[in-house]
Structure formats: C-alpha cells, structure tokens
Amino acid sequence: MRQWLKGLALFVAITCLVWVGVLWYWQATSRDMSPEDIALYLGLLPLVVFGLALLARWALRSAVASAVAKEAAAAQAPASGSPALPSAGQQERHAPFKLLASGLSCAAGHSAREVADALKEGAPRPAPDKALRDDEGLPVLCARIEPLDTAALQEAWDGVCAVAQADLQGAEAQPVAVDEAVQRALAALQAPLQQCLSQLAAWSERFAKPDADGPQAASAAVPAGLRVFTAWPTHWSPAERAVAQAWVKHCLKQDSADWLAPSQLRLMPSTQGGGVALWLEADRALRAAQREGLPEVVLLLSCQSDLSDARLGHLQREAALFTHTMPKAGVAAESAVALALADETWPELPDAAAAPVLLHRAAVIQRDKPIDAAGRVSAQVAEQVVQQAAAAAELPLAEVSALVSDADQHSPRGAELFSVLVSQLAQLDAAEDTLVAGTLWGRTGPTAPLMLVALAAHRAEMNQQPCLALSVDDSVARMALVLRPPAAAGAEPTKTAS
C-alpha cells in the first residue's frame, strides 16, 4: 500500500510539473492549441516522463545491488582461501621510519621534554618584546629564544660568508648582506644540530669503513651515509640561503669529523616550499635508499626567526604580524630543529635504554584556499589527513592516545583543530591528551612540522602508546602522521605480514 501511494504521489508531482511547463510555454509563445496537442502534451507526455522515472529508479537500484554483491564477494574471498600477499607498494606504504636523534630550540624550551613540560604548565607564553616595536611604537608580542649564544656564529662568520659568496659566484667586494633575524636563526640551529650529531655518534661503527686487513673485510657491511636536507624560510634571499648552507656545512664538518668521513656526507640543495615539502623529500630519499639496499641516515635541518626590525616591518606591511589591529595574525617567533631518520632495518644499539620511536608514513593534503582567507573555516582537509595518516599506520583512530599539534588559540587554526578532535578523536581529553604547541612557540614557519615530530615522539615514548601529530601551521598544507613506541609497535602484528 505504501509503495502504491509513493508511486501515485510521484505521478501526480510529475504531471503537475509537466502541465505547468507546457502551459507556460504555450502562453509565452502564444501557441494555438489543437485537440491533438492537448492529448499529446497534457495526457501522454506525463505518462512517458513517469515511465522514464520508474526505469531510472530501477536501473539505479540494480547498480547498487550489483556493487554490494561484488563487495560482499570480495570480502568473503580471503576467508575461503589463503590470504593474499601484500604488494610491494602496500608494504612500502605501511613501513615505518626510525627516529634516531632529534634536537630543537624554541621560546618554550631547548628540548622536546622542556617544551612538553612548558605546555603542561602553559608557560612561557609569547610576551611583549623589550627591544622591538611595531609601526605605532608599541612592543611587539614575540616568542624569543632566551638565551641565544651567537658567539660561535660570529667567530666563523667571515669564513662562512666567503664560502657563500664563492657559491654564489659573486664578484662584488662587499660582504654578503644578511639580516639580523637570519643570523639569530642560524645561531639557534647550532645547539639542535650538535645534539643530533652527538646522538648519531653512538652508531659510529655503523658509519665507519670496514677494516681492510681484518678477517671480516670481505663480508663487511657497506658504511652508512648521512644525507642532509635543509629548508629555509621562503622570504630569505638567495644570499641568505647560501650563507645558511655554508654555515650548516661548517657545523657538520666540525661536529662529525671524529666518526664520519667527508665522502659519506652529502649536503643536498635547500628545499623550496617549507617544512612539509622537506619532510616529503626526506621520505622519498629514504624509500629510494631502502629499495636500493643502501644504508643511509637522513638529517633534516630548519630554522627561522622574525626578530629584526626589517623582518617585523615586512610582516606588518603584509598584515601577517600579531598586533591589536590584527589579532588573528601570526605571533613573531624564532626556532630551530634537527631530526635524524632511518628506515626500519637500521640496527638498534645493544646497550641503549630505549629503542628509537617509529614514525609511520605522513599524509599531506593541500587546502583549496589559505586558512587565513576570509570566509567560513573548513576542517575537512584536516580531518581527511588525519584519517589517511591512521590508515597508513593501520591503526584505528579510536586507539590514538594523544594528539600533538602546532595550532594556536587565536587564529582559525584553533577551530580547525577543535573540529578534528570532535569529529575524529572524540576519545581524547582536550586538556590531558592534547598538546597545542603553537600557543607557546608562535608561528614558526618551516620548522613547525619538524618540531612537532620531535614533540610527538617524546609524548609517544613517555606514554608508551601511539600518538598523532597534526601540523596546521602552514596556510595551505596539512600534514599528519602516527608515531609509535617500539614496544607498542612490536606488541601488535602488522597487517601487511603474510
């Protein structure tokens, strides 16, 4: 009875629509209707349209039923026989990295542990700077690194600038012009880089060349290489980028000379596009080395600083500086980070207190418009990137125990993060299980996703449970990845194993 009433209602609706359309057309064209026209257009045409509607509904239901049957058959196929082996692409997609070493420096602390403790206490937050002023003469809200040792940078500055000028093939007698903010950023990078290299030195035997006179020389493993990738702020000039590359080369040779041969060190050209692009480039390099069977460690370096009059003036002209007139703009900050990654086959230290944290493949999606653009803020891309990161880790989102993000609380990024928490991670407590780092370390540009990885690795190691890192600092790019402590990863069999 109900189906008959639905069909009758559909027929009446179609008849009314056809009649209204036909009568309007006749009136608009002043058509002289004949009895044949009335019978054809007002009688037969509604029946034809009604029949076509029923036919289309039947075809749609048949297609849906066929698709459901195929899915059910595919789901039952593995149960009836032996499970299919995963393809090489699937294995590579789910294979994790190892975080061998990390170091960071920002206004909230000089290590992941210090930053995590600062986030729990909610301090130190960005504060009005004692020296820097905006266009109205008011103190600028800044996240300044205190203290910052620039002595080593000044001692090597002339030599670094000379190397940079040679790389630029410059013939000018004038030294390379570098903004004060660039100098502060490079000075901030020295400590994280030294910390990272000192941790890598524990694998000095893995980097050492085999003894040619020893009995195991013929079967000795190929010494590992260290490939270094860098990402500098997009507003740095070519000269400033060249100085940064020269400074990194100087620090690498000085701090790794005892355990790394120069032939095993490769400094790659700086990456264009920020921290997310740097991470993707490192991912490609590690996967390529793994496919070729080459032992290699990838070192990621980045730093930035907004603390100079020239840089602050540029930000204010672009309406990108947090002031009383621009309360949703970024907070001026400075930071530096170094991460050392290797594939999952990298050997563990026999006397180490804990094995390296495992990082699954990152998911990256671009927003259709910048987050700071006018209009409604959509969190759809952030939600999708979280779902894809969990799929890459083969981990249900309900099993994520913590979320670490570089969002803040004064811009649309905060609303984006809140939407992800409500829709995808409802099991997390917003106060206890979530770290919102952007509130303390400000807008950190290319270093944000890398520092986030170091912070999330610390959280996963402390909790001994999976942690999700979500980077929303960039105006367009969204990146997420799952980090697991080795004990948690070993306790659960991977789905790709046959």
pLDDT tens for 367-410 read 999 998 887 778 999 999 999 999 999 999 999 999 999 999 88
Structural domain of 284: 95-211+220-491
pLDDT at 308: 95
pLDDT bin (cut points 50, 70, 90) of residue 67 is low
| Whether this model's pTM surpasses 0.85 | no
Where does the pLDDT of residue 168 fall: very low under 50, low under 70, confident under 90, or very high at 90 and above? confident
Q: Please state the rounded mean pLDDT for residues 10-38.
A: 80
> What is the token pair recorded at 265?
């060190």
Predicted pLDDT at 267: 96
In sign, the C-alpha dihedral spanning 420, 425, 426, 431 is negative
Residue range 14-18: mean pLDDT, rounded: 85
The string of pLDDT tens digits covering residues 76-106 is 444 444 444 455 566 677 889 999 999 999 9
Picking from 78, 79, 75, 95, the residue whose alpha carbon sits closest to that of residue 87 is 95
Q: Do 133 and 139 meet the contact criterion of CB atoms below 8 Å apart?
A: yes
CB 86 within 8 A of CB 498: yes
Q: Is residue 187 part of a domain?
A: yes
Residue 48 lies in a domain: yes
* Mean pLDDT, the chain, integer: 86
For the chain, the C-alpha Rg in angstroms (whole number) is 30
Whether residue 78 lies inside any domain: the answer is: no
Judge whether residue 64 has pLDDT over 80: no
Q: What tokens appear for 423 in the block?
A: 């829709």
Cα–Cα distances (Å) from 46 to 32, 40, 43, 49, in that order, read 21, 9, 6, 5
Q: Does 442 fall in a domain?
A: yes
As beta bridge partners, residue 298 has 227, 341
What is the Cα–Cα distance from 253 to 266, expressed in whole angstroms?
Answer: 11
| pLDDT of the residue at 61 | 74
- The percentage of the chain sitting over the pLDDT mark of 90, rounded to a whole number, equals 58
Residue 207 lies in a domain: yes
Does residue 283 sit in the same domain as residue 370?
yes
Q: Are 334 and 186 found together in one domain?
A: yes
Residue 424 pLDDT greater than 90, yes or no: yes
Please indicate, yes or no, if residue 497 is contained in any of the structural domains.
Answer: no
- 450-459 mean pLDDT: 97
**Is residue 11 located within the same domain as residue 124?**
no
In this predicted structure, what is the pLDDT of residue 221?
66
DSSP letters spanning 115-167? HHHHHHHT-SPPEEEEEEE-TTSPEEEEE--SS---HHHHHTHHHHHHHHHHH
- 263 lies in the same domain as 306: yes
Q: What is the pLDDT of residues 293-342, one digit of tens each?
A: 889 999 999 999 999 999 999 999 999 999 988 998 999 999 999 999 99
User: How many domains, the chain?
Assistant: 2
With 0-12 / 13-18 / 19 or more C-beta atoms within 10 angstroms meaning exposed / middle / buried, residue 378 is middle
Residue 268 CB: number of other CB atoms within 10 A? 15
Average pLDDT over residues 17-32: 79
Beta strands at 477-484 and 434-436: parallel, antiparallel or unpaired: unpaired
Judgement on whether residues 48 and 127 belong to the same structural domain of the protein: no
Give the pLDDT confidence score for residue 216 in this predicted structure: 40
Are residues 132 and 8 part of one domain? no
Same domain? 203 vs 339: yes
Asked if 397 and 453 sit in the same domain, the reply is yes
pLDDT at 195: 95
CA 122 vs CA 158, 233, 440, 447, 452: distances in Å:
40, 27, 8, 21, 17
Are 55 and 102 in a shared domain? no
**Same domain assignment for residues 23 and 166:** no
Q: How far apart are CA 297 and CA 346, in angstroms?
A: 9
Provide the pLDDT confidence category of residue 481 given band limits of 50, 70 and 90. very high
What pLDDT, on a 0 to 100 scale, did the predictor assign at position 427?
Answer: 94
User: Of the given ranges (82-91, 116-125, 153-162), which has the lowest mean pLDDT?
Assistant: 82-91
Residue 65 belongs to some domain of the structure: no
User: Around 354, how many Cα atoms within 13 Å sit in the side-chain half-sphere?
Assistant: 18
**Nearest-angstrom CA–CA distance, 449 and 405:** 9
- Residue 491's pLDDT is what? 45
Q: What CATH number is given to the structural domain containing 127?
A: 3.40.47.10
Maximum C-alpha span of the chain: 109
> Which pLDDT belongs to residue 40?
80
Same domain? 348 vs 407: yes
Predicted pLDDT at 83: 47
Helices within 293-379 (DSSP H only): 309-317
Is residue 10 within a helix (H) or strand (E), and if so which, with residue range? helix 2-29
Does residue 493 register a pLDDT over 60?
no
Domain membership flag for residue 271:
yes
Q: Per-residue pLDDT for 31 more than 80?
A: no
Within this chain, do residues 338 and 386 fall inside the same structural domain, yes or no? Answer: yes
Which of 38-47, 207-216, 218-227, 360-369 is modeled with the greatest confidence? 360-369
- pLDDT of 158 > 90? The answer is no
What pLDDT score was predicted for residue 407? 94
Please compute the mean of the pLDDT values over residues 468-487 and round it to a whole number: 93
